């Protein structure tokens, strides 16, 4: 197996790097198993999986706990969606310390107000002033300990109704503040805004894109258009919703689970993701160590030591 590349290396690779969204360790494993290079710990997916809007309802610690658990289960890099940084500069400093310590390889923060609202929801998509967000980026970069920890600045100018000029102004500012990459978001059905940004941007940072609404674009086209990392942010969750709806509907409609059995992952797969084999072998190993210890105790040497202990006490 080829060695796993770091997130920083992937961002500077000749090929397009590919990430997919996950909301728990199981879905992170599915991202890795499918062959994606990076797990995107998606704010939308994590919030949706807990039944709340993607609007900073969850605390940083709730999001961090999910990202940390993902890191423990996959070997590809985890990139955490950290919304607008969970507050002000002090929150960003605490966030970078915490996520870096958890083994996450990078964070992405966006230039929206706190609380943020998912970019596809019609509602408040106001941007913070450039100086405020540049300060947050500078704080994030100054806080990291490992030089390879990646800080991605997400530009929401197009989402917020601004044009190319505002997006480029922000790109320049965030690059000056020390960002390692820029995520340019768009809610158009075509990649036109993304392409125009990539063509006009004359800085040095890798560009990250999220082809959710402009879903017909291919990976080759995104690479040729100037993107370094494409994030398929929520297709997994949406696919799971469709699949579960269909399975549950069919069980009730048919009055039996038999017809859907061939659409289900076998229980063996579930045990595989849980690493039940490791549990069983740990039990075997340590039970036999325990038995060995008990035998020594019952055979003399241990027995004498125990008696001596009793006498001393």
Given the complex with ligand SPV, which of 107 and 257 has the nearer CB atom?
107
Measured over the CA atoms of residue 115, residue 118, residue 123 and residue 124, the dihedral's sign is positive
* Residue showing tokens 């997400």: 154
List the interface residues with Mg ion, window 171-200 (CB under 5 A).
Answer: none
List the interface residues with Mg ion, window 11-70 (CB under 5 A).
Answer: 43
Q: What separation, in Å, do the N-terminal and C-terminal C-alpha atoms of the chain show?
A: 58
Neighbours of 19 (CB within 10 A): 26
| DSSP of 91-120 | HHHHHHHHHHHTT--EEEEESB-SS---TT
Instruction: Establish if 27 lies at the interface with ligand SPV (CB under 6 A).
Output: no
Query: Which pair of structure tokens corresponds to residue 60?
Result: 């940083």
Paired with 40 in beta bridges are 21, 79
| Binding flags for ligand SPV, 211-250, as an x/- string (CB under 6 A) | -x--------------------xx----------------
In angstroms, what is the minimal distance from the CB of 108 to Mg ion? 8
| Binding flags for ligand SPV, 53-92, as an x/- string (CB under 6 A) | -x--------------------------x-----------
Residue 210 interface partner, choices Mg ion, ligand SPV, none, CB cut-off 5-8 Å depending on type: ligand SPV
Tell me which stretch binds ligand SPV (CB under 6 A): 39-47, 168-176, 275-283, 295-303.
Answer: 39-47
**Vertex 63, ends 58 and 67: CA angle to 5°?**
165
* Distance (Å) of CA 88 to CA 130, 133, 261: 14, 9, 50
Q: Which of 24, 91, 118, 160 binds ligand SPV (CB under 6 A)?
A: 118
- Contact residues: ligand SPV, CB under 6 A: 21, 42-44, 54, 81, 118-119, 210, 212, 233-234
- Contact residues: Mg ion, CB under 5 A: 43, 81
**Residues designated as active site:** 54
């Amino acid at each position: 197996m080829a060695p796993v590349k770091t997130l920083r290396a992937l961002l500077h690779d000749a090929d397009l790097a590919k990430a997919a969204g996950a909301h728990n360790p199981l879905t992170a494993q599915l991202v890795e198993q499918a062959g994606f290079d990076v797990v995107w710990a998606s704010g939308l997916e994590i919030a949706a999986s807990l039944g709340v809007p993607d609007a900073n309802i969850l605390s940083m610690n709730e999001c961090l706990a999910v990202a940390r658990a993902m890191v423990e289960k996959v070997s590809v890099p985890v990139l955490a969606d950290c919304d607008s940084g969970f507050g002000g500069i002090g929150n960003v400093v605490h966030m970078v310390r915490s996520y870096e310590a958890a083994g996450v390889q990078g964070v992405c923060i966006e230039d929206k107000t706190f609380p943020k609202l998912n970019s596809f929801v019609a509602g408040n998509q106001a941007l913070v002033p450039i100086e405020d967000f540049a300060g947050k980026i500078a704080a994030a970069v100054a806080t990291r300990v490992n030089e390879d920890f990646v800080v991605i600045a997400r530009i929401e100018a197009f989402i917020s109704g601004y044009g190319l000029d505002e997006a480029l102004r922000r790109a320049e500012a965030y690059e000056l503040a020390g960002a390692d990459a820029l995520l340019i978001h768009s809610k158009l059905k075509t990649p036109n805004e993304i392409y125009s940004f990539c063509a006009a941007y004359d800085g040095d940072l890798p560009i990250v894109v999220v082809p959710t609404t402009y879903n017909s674009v291919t990976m080759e086209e995104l690479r040729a258009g100037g993107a370094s990392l494409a994030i398929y942010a929520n297709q997994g969750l949406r696919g799971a919703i469709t699949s579960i709806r269909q399975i549950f509907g069919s069980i009730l409609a048919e009055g039996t689970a038999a017809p859907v059995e061939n659409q289900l992952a076998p229980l063996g797969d579930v045990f595989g993701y849980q690493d039940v084999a490791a549990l069983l072998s740990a039990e075997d190993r340590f039970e036999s160590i325990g038995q060995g210890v008990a035998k020594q105790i019952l055979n003399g040497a241990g027995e004498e030591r125990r008696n001596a202990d009793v006498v001393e006490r």
